[in-house]
């Protein structure tokens, strides 16, 4: 399972470096929770046939609608409690006060309505002590193993060549990382929510669909392993790794975390992250 491989790579990195940077320590703990939950889940039986999936994908509709995203609410709430514990531990780093999380326990606050609104990208029901942004982050971290489980059951239905849209074919989420294929340099996007990978045009912004080459460019490091795609139209950026240079041993979803300095660089240049 991918999460376990990522955790193992982080363990190795920690051994080598002595201590991980704080951001990676944080993700290390979140990943351990997610992997632990993933181990307890049974692969769901897809509610769609292959033919029905094909019809849906051709209409541009992701395979898992909010109403189809079923999961064990009690296990989710337990996961949310654990994730909240890690957020509290790193509260100084995330910019929240741990008291806010203790006084209004998110696992009591976040009901199915919250998750559906989060899933649809809509505003969450109003809350007092904790900001919507933090609740979104908490849901994102706690829901991930459940979403990945569904994605694993549905990915076989995705015809990559026919999808090529700017959102995830499984959950409709936004991409937050990309890689270039080792063989031919084709660009794949990675879903920020469920880690599904899908093929996408190299010369198009996945955030605003801009295809005007005068407004699209990328920065690259000296070894040309990493790229920072930027769009002048929407001012968003997308980090990427070129597997022709990096080799295929790389864990792409870990690279998304290891490249935090690229995020800082992008912000410094005046570009915005997704969200
Ligand atoms: Zn997704
Ligand atoms: Zn754009």
Cα–ligand 1 centroid distance for 63 (angstroms): 10
The fraction of the chain above a pLDDT of 70, given in percent, is 99
Q: Which chain residues have CB less than 5 Å from ligand 2, an ion?
A: 205, 207-208, 210, 231, 233-234
pLDDT at 267: 95
Considering only CA atoms, which of 192, 198, 194, 116 is closest in space to residue 152?
194
Domains of the chain: 2-157 (no CATH), 161-268 (3.90.1670.10)
CB atoms within 10 A of CB 253: 19
Cα–ligand 1 centroid distance for 2 (angstroms): 15
Cα–ligand 2 centroid distance for 210 (angstroms): 5
pLDDT classification of 109: cutoffs 50, 70, 90: confident
For residue 217, give the ligand nearest its CA: 2
In the three-class reduction of DSSP (H, G, I as helix; E, B as strand; rest coil), residue 117 is classed as: helix
pLDDT at 254: 95
Sign, CA torsion 182/183/185/191: negative
pTM value is 0.94
Q: List Cβ neighbours of 74 (8 Å cut-off, separation of 6 or more).
A: none
Lowest mean pLDDT among 123-137, 157-171, 193-207, 235-249: 123-137
Cα–ligand 1 centroid distance for 249 (angstroms): 23
Residue 1 has pLDDT above 80, yes or no: no
What is the pLDDT of the chain when averaged over all its residues? 92
Residue 141 has pLDDT above 70, yes or no: yes
Over residues 97-108, the mean pLDDT reads 74
Cα–ligand 2 centroid distance for 180 (angstroms): 19
pLDDT at 240: 97
């Amino acid at each position: 399972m991918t999460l376990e491989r990522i955790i193992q790579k982080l363990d190795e990195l920690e051994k080598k470096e002595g201590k991980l940077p704080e951001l990676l320590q944080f993700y290390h703990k979140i990943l351990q929770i997610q992997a632990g939950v993933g181990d307890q889940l049974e692969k769901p039986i897809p509610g769609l046939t292959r033919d029905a999936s094909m019809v849906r994908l051709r209409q541009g509709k992701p395979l898992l609608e909010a109403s189809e995203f079923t999961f064990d609410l009690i296990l989710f709430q337990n996961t949310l409690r654990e994730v909240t514990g890690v957020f509290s531990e790193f509260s100084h780093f995330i910019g929240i006060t741990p008291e806010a999380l203790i006084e209004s326990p998110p696992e009591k606050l976040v009901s199915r309505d919250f998750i559906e609104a989060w899933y649809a990208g809509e505003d969450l029901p109003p809350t007092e002590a904790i900001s919507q942004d933090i609740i979104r982050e908490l849901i994102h971290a706690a829901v991930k193993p459940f979403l990945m489980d569904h994605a694993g059951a549905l990915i076989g239905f995705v015809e990559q060549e026919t999808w090529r849209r700017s959102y995830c074919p499984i959950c409709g989420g936004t991409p937050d990382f990309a890689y270039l294929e080792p063989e031919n340099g084709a660009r794949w996007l990675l879903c920020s929510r469920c880690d599904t990978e899908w093929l996408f045009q190299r010369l198009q912004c996945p955030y605003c669909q801009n295809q005007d080459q005068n407004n699209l460019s990328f920065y690259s490091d000296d070894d040309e392993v990493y790229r920072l795609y930027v769009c002048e139209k929407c001012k968003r950026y997308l980090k990427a790794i070129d597997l022709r240079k990096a080799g295929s041993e790389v864990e792409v979803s870990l690279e998304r975390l290891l490249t935090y300095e690229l995020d800082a660089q992008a912000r410094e240049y005046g570009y915005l992250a997704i969200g």
